[in-house]
Structure formats: structure tokens, C-alpha cells
């Protein structure tokens, strides 16, 4: 069965610090998708990134970057020069793609609460 672990329950940083959110996953499928979602205090879920299992390229989007390593089954998320607006709960999620199709089913980690202090 698939599983996602976000070992960091809460992280607190001061503005402008860099912070890395860890995500470790388990799956038997060779084809799968990994996601990060942000849940700000308002409660909605905001999509940040999707990565498929065949693409191990790291990605950078502004202050956000993602490091995908199949060898360690990890998909970590780094925020550079954090800002107060980054305060939120961040979820890592996995979608297995049996036969190439994920059916939209996501397995989420427990979430990491990030608080950025001014």
C-alpha cells in the first residue's frame, strides 16, 4: 500500500530564513505522481507542483524549489527567504498510476504546519 510521511509536524522560522519541508513516500508502483499542496489559514487547498516518477529533475519556481530523489523515495520542498505569507499547512501527496492512470486518488501525508514570524 502507498504511504506518505511528513515527519515534521510543525516548523517555526523567522522571516528571510530558508526552510525545507521533508516528504518520504512508499509505493510499489513504478509509475506514480507526487504533489505538494498548500493550505493557508483560510482553509482552501492550493496546488503547488506535480512531478511524475520518470522525471527526477529538480524544479525551481521563484522562491520555491523541489528536490525529487527516487533513490531515497523523497520529494522535499524548500522555501528560500521565507515570508510571513508562506505561513500555512503544507501537504505532500502521492498518486499511484496503475496501468498509467491515477484515477485521481491521492494519498496525503500528515501535513507540516509552517509558521513564519516577522
Partner 1 sequence: NAGVTQTPKFQVLKTGQSMTLQCAQDMNHEYMSWYRQDPGMGLRLIHYSVGAGITDQGEVPNGYNVSRSTTEDFPLRLLSAAPSQTSVYFCASSYGVMNTEAFFGQGTRLTVV
Give the residue among 96, 102, 94, 82 at the shortest CA–CA distance from 18: 82
Among 15-23, 31-39, 65-73, 77-85, the segment contacting partner 1 (CB under 8 A): 31-39
- Residue 95 interacting with partner 1 (CB under 8 A): yes
Are 68 and 34 a contacting pair, CB within 8 Å?
A: yes
Distance, first Cα to last Cα, the chain: 41
- Residue 117 interacting with partner 1 (CB under 8 A): no
Among 20-28, 61-69, 71-79, 96-104, the segment contacting partner 1 (CB under 8 A): 96-104
Question: Whole-number minimum distance, CB 102 to partner 1, in Å?
Answer: 5
- Residue 62 interacting with partner 1 (CB under 8 A): no
Binding site residues, partner 1, CB under 8 A: 4, 6, 9, 33, 35, 37, 43-45, 47, 50, 52, 91, 93, 95, 97, 100-111
Amino acid at each position: 500500500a502507498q504511504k506518505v510521511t511528513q515527519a515534521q509536524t510543525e516548523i517555526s522560522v523567522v522571516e528571510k530564513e530558508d526552510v525545507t519541508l521533508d516528504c518520504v513516500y512508499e509505493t510499489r508502483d513504478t509509475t506514480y505522481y507526487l504533489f505538494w499542496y498548500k493550505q493557508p489559514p483560510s482553509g482552501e487547498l492550493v496546488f503547488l507542483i506535480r512531478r511524475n516518477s520518470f522525471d527526477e529533475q529538480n524544479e525551481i519556481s521563484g522562491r520555491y524549489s523541489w528536490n525529487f530523489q527516487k533513490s531515497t523515495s523523497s520529494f522535499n520542498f524548500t522555501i528560500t527567504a521565507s515570508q510571513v505569507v508562506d505561513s500555512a499547512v503544507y501537504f505532500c501527496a502521492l498518486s499511484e498510476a496503475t496501468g498509467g492512470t491515477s484515477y485521481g486518488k491521492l494519498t496525503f501525508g500528515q501535513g507540516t504546519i509552517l509558521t513564519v514570524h516577522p
